Amino acid sequence: MFDTIKKNLYFIRLSMLENEGIKKGEILPFEDSLYERLNKVYFNGYPMSLQIKYLKPTVGPGQCEDRSLFIVMGLDDAKWVCGDEKDLELRFGKENAWHYWVEYDGWVYDPTMLCKFKKELYYKLFLPTNIKSSNKEFYSQISWYQDIVNTKIEDLMPGGKSRTWLSVSIPLIKGIAENEAQLSGDDTFLRELNKHLDEIQYDPEQITDELNSKISEYSRKRTN
């Protein structure tokens, strides 16, 4: 009984602080400039801006580790931070309270809510504990981080070294975008994706031919 009252009081306090933060401009959606920077960072053949805006988790904990590191790629010298958050503990249990976020210039960027919070307010809201943070010297050594930040749009164009990524990733993400447009009537995601595909001269048949050529070349090298 007492635990239920404490839990309810916490969420009432959380709601009040959130409303106050929105009114004071201490909780804001991600700025357009962040998405513009992420639009030039490529993951599995498409811009990271699409990954953050449209492929976010909607229920329960998960994916925040990778997504927060994606956000770091759009901010210079940001901190990659993790810890146990009170709201997640109360909703999903202590074993699922772990969360990742990004801290930059006095703000916290949350990878699930797609909002930035004044750091002091964020800590008041979610009461994080067991906090650990990493700077660029640490996270830039992660292999897949380097793979992503070093990929240029030229690598996705015909003859590019990462062109074959598109054979798997693009049909999947395009299917998701088309399904969302059909269900919601909002085709923004699909239009942004198609703009990118036009820019890299996406051609499924050409990509398949290029992939088959590489497989054949690899097979010849193995048999020789």
Judge whether 148 and 42 are in contact, CB under 8 Å.
yes
- The pLDDT assigned to 1 comes to 53
Share of the chain above pLDDT 90, in %: 55
The per-residue pLDDT for range 85-102, each reduced to its tens digit, is 999 888 888 888 999 999
pLDDT tens track for 45-63: 999 999 999 987 654 556 8
Distance between CA atoms of 63 and 99, rounded to whole angstroms? 9
- Specify the pLDDT at position 10: 80
In the 8-state DSSP scheme, what is residue 94?
A: G
Whether pLDDT at 4 is above 80: no
If one compares 109 and 165, the residue with the highest pLDDT of the two is: 109
CA angle 37, 74, 70 (to 5 degrees): 120
- The answer for residues whose C-beta is within 8 angstroms of residue 164's C-beta and 6 or more apart is 207, 210, 211, 214
pLDDT in tens, 127-144: 999 999 998 888 888 888
219 band by pLDDT with thresholds 50, 70 and 90: low
As a whole number of angstroms, the distance between CA 162 and CA 151 comes to 8
pLDDT at residue 59 in the model: 46
Distance CA 70, CA 182 (A): 28
Burial class (CB in 10 A: 0-12, 13-18, 19+), 116: buried
| pLDDT of residue 218 exceeding 90 | no
Q: What is the DSSP string of 24-85?
A: HT-EEEPPHHHHHHHTTSEETTEEHHHHHHHS---SSS-SHHHHHHHHHTTSTT-EEEEEE-
